[in-house]
Chain A
Amino acid sequence: MYLFLFAVAGAVSIASTILAVTRLNASHALVYLIVSLLAVAAVFFLLGAPFAAALEIVIYAGAIVVLFLFVVMMLNLGQGSVERERRWLRPGMWIGPSILSGALFITLFVVIYQETGTEFMSKAVGPGEVGERMFSAYILAVELAGILLLAALVGAYHLGRRYMTDRREEN
């Protein structure tokens, strides 16, 4: 039963990710990306990681994709952008990336295939256990992540502020 659910969620995530990467219209691609992230969240639930699944929905599908959506709306891409994407995505361009990622797929597939099969432990790891471990053994990593986020905040403010002031001057 779990294996069947896993297969469905995995198939949905693969299909919607392929659709997201190959769309011409950015907003359509973002909707497919949300579906893909929700499917991966379902996989996390099935693997016994409910906290990671919740974070996947709240932060990835909620915050990060909405950030993309804001920028797509700010850039105001219209019908012209679909035409331009069609020009940029000529059929010949598919060949190189397909060969490269196909070769990598075969390599990594063989590596995973040669490992002897490990079954998952049947116990789910809940938020409490994650939190305890995170703020004891991994406290330094948490602090470093905080510093990283602060640096990103300053960088994003710096880049975005100049965009806004310049746009005001144009008007």
Chain B
Amino acid sequence: MASIPADYALYLALVLFLIGLFGVLLRRNVIFVLMSLEVMMNACGLAFVSAGAAWGVADGQIMFMLILALAAAEVAVALGLVLQLQKRFRTLDIDSASELRG
């Protein structure tokens, strides 16, 4: 444990976060967009845990748990919205749900 520099864990979190961001920008299927969001949240959790481990305190893991609760809540509501999208528009294309013209 002592031999891993804190930078490396942060680099890993950075790369994972950017892969998630890449997925959100690239994909149009709403299920893949949600998966990419999960990847991004997981990377944030990794950054918190590694920061907590760098100082040897429990706070990082507590933050990770709160992120976990947030991710679970988000995915429950978002998958309900996916079912509604499929029912109303007969597609998973996230661009089809643009009736607000935002």
Residues of A within 8 A of B (CB): 1-3, 6, 10, 13-14, 17-18, 20-22, 26, 29-30, 33, 36-37, 40, 43-44, 46-49, 51-52, 55-56, 59-60, 63-64, 67-68, 71-72, 74-75, 77, 81, 85, 88-89, 93-94, 96-98, 100-101, 104-105, 108-109, 112-113, 115, 117-125, 129-130, 132-134, 138, 141, 145, 148-149, 151-153, 155-156, 158-160, 162-163, 166-167
Contacts and interface: CB of A to CB of B under 8 A. Distances in A.
Interface of B: 1-12, 14-16, 18-23, 25-29, 31-32, 34-36, 38-39, 42, 45-46, 49-50, 52-62, 64-66, 68-77, 79-84, 86-87, 92-93
Nearest to B34: A68
Contacts of B80: 155-156, 158-160, 163
B25 to A, nearest CB: 4
7 contacts: A21-B26, A29-B35, A101-B18, A117-B6, A119-B2, A125-B57, A138-B62
